[in-house]
């Protein structure tokens, strides 16, 4: 049975590998996006995080502009902007400006989480919790600022009015599925790390979806971890950097992405840990043939409209190679 056409995209965090400067990291982000453009990827999203020394995408809209300037056709956007951290007016102005500079190429993915620890969330915005609870209203404000009907309002984001910047609702729970369905917006689920509610969220979104001016039918994107190499053994070796990264998240000892090593029994034990195993449930690691089988099964089960691949690999050349092989897999499946 041939599955329907599925778009494929990239989510990047501008992860800082051990031994690299921020400038080198940002250069590699652009290099990866340029390769993605030549390999048929639909979009390249950057995720907002704060107070994490191993993540370089904290000034997300600035980095989006840098990547958009260095590419030509690839859609560039946020996966996502954590809206409770910001004034909706400022985000509308930033993305309206980006949309004017790079017409029909900018996406605005919006999330509710802080993308950081509670103390930093408080430092970013003292009323963060209030803003998080008001997320649906804050999304509505963004939509209003982009609308030409807002031109007579007292408060305007003049650079955003009439600019075409599609809004996506991001989520890792079922709450976001209800909101995306109600507003008739495309929905991106963070199944690359939040695996528990994927199927319920997709079901809720599809069953409760209300068509809008933006979207006639539901559109689902799902995040998956992808590490593809020429052999299963090489992919497994590359994945040791990801495993150490996950350990850093659970222990609170985040470090820059470490070089890969041979797989050890200790690392295999970590992968078998129930929490780690659950978190990495939708991780497809192996040779092209191995990953193709895994991805095909996931697509047949989920019937998502788009896969957004997350690839945490230490070396930029290995990362580019993995994304090239993943593009080949998607082209063959389509």
Say what the pLDDT of residue 121 is.
79
Mean of the pLDDT values across residues 5-11?
97
Place of tokens 């978190």: 279
Domain ranges of the chain: 7-236+285-333
Q: How confident is the model at residue 201 (pLDDT cuts 50, 70, 90)?
A: very high
- How much is the pTM? 0.95
Ramachandran quadrant class, 53 (left: phi over 0; alpha: psi -120 to 50; beta: rest)? alpha
162-180: pLDDT as tens digits: 999 999 999 999 999 999 9
Superfamily designation of domain 7-236+285-333: Luciferase-like domain (3.20.20.30)
Helix (H) or strand (E) holding 309: strand 306-310
Q: Which residues contact 24 (CB under 8 A, 6 or more apart)?
A: none
Q: What is the pLDDT of residues 272-286, one digit of tens each?
A: 999 998 999 999 999
Residue 249, number of CB atoms within 10 A of its CB = 13
Place of tokens 């497809």: 284
pLDDT (tens digit, 9 = 90+) per residue, 65-80?
Answer: 999 999 999 999 999 9
Residues with Cβ within 8 Å of residue 31, at least 6 apart in sequence? 316, 320
SS3 70: coil
Q: What is the pLDDT of residue 195?
A: 93
**Percent share of the chain, pLDDT over 70:** 99
Those residues whose C-beta lies under 8 Å from the C-beta of residue 263, and which sit 6 or more positions away, are 236, 237, 239, 240
d(CA 85, CA 265): 41
* 88-145 per-position pLDDT tens digit: 999 999 999 999 999 999 999 999 987 788 888 788 777 878 878 899 999 999 999 9
Residue 1 has pLDDT above 50, yes or no: no
């Amino acid at each position: 049975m041939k599955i329907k056409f599925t778009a494929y995209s990239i989510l990047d965090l501008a992860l800082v590998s051990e031994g690299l400067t921020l400038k080198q990291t940002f250069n590699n982000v652009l290099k990866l996006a340029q390769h993605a453009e030549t390999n048929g990827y639909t979009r390249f999203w950057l995720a907002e995080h704060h107070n994490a020394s191993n993540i370089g995408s904290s000034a997300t809209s600035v980095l989006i502009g840098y990547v958009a300037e260095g590419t030509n056709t690839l859609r560039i956007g946020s996966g996502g902007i954590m809206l409770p951290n910001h004034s909706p007016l400022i985000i509308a102005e930033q993305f309206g400006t980006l949309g004017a500079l790079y017409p029909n190429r900018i996406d605005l993915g919006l999330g509710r989480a802080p993308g950081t620890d509670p103390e930093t969330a408080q430092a970013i915005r003292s009323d963060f919790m209030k803003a998080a609870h008001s997320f649906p209203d804050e999304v509505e404000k963004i939509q209003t600022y982009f609308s030409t009907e807002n031109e007579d309002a007292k408060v305007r984001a003049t650079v955003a009015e009439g600019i075409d910047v599609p809004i996506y609702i991001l989520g890792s729970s079922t709450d976001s599925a209800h909101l995306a369905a109600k507003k008739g917006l495309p929905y991106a689920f963070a199944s690359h790390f939040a695996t528990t509610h994927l199927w319920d969220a997709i079901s809720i979104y599809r069953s409760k979806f209300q068509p809008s001016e933006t979207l006639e039918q539901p559109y689902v994107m799902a995040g998956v971890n992808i590490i593809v190499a020429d052999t299963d053994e090489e992919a497994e070796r590359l994945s040791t950097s990801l495993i150490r990264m996950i350990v850093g998240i659970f222990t609170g000892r985040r470090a820059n992405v470490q070089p890969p090593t041979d797989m050890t029994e200790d690392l295999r034990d970590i992968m078998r840990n129930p929490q780690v195993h659950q978190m990495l449930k939708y991780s497809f690691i192996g040779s092209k043939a191995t990953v193709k089988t895994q991805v095909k099964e996931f697509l047949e089960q989920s019937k998502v409209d788009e896969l957004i691949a997350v690839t945490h690999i230490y070396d930029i050349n290995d990362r580019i190679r993995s994304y090239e092989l993943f593009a080949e897999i998607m082209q063959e499946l389509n």
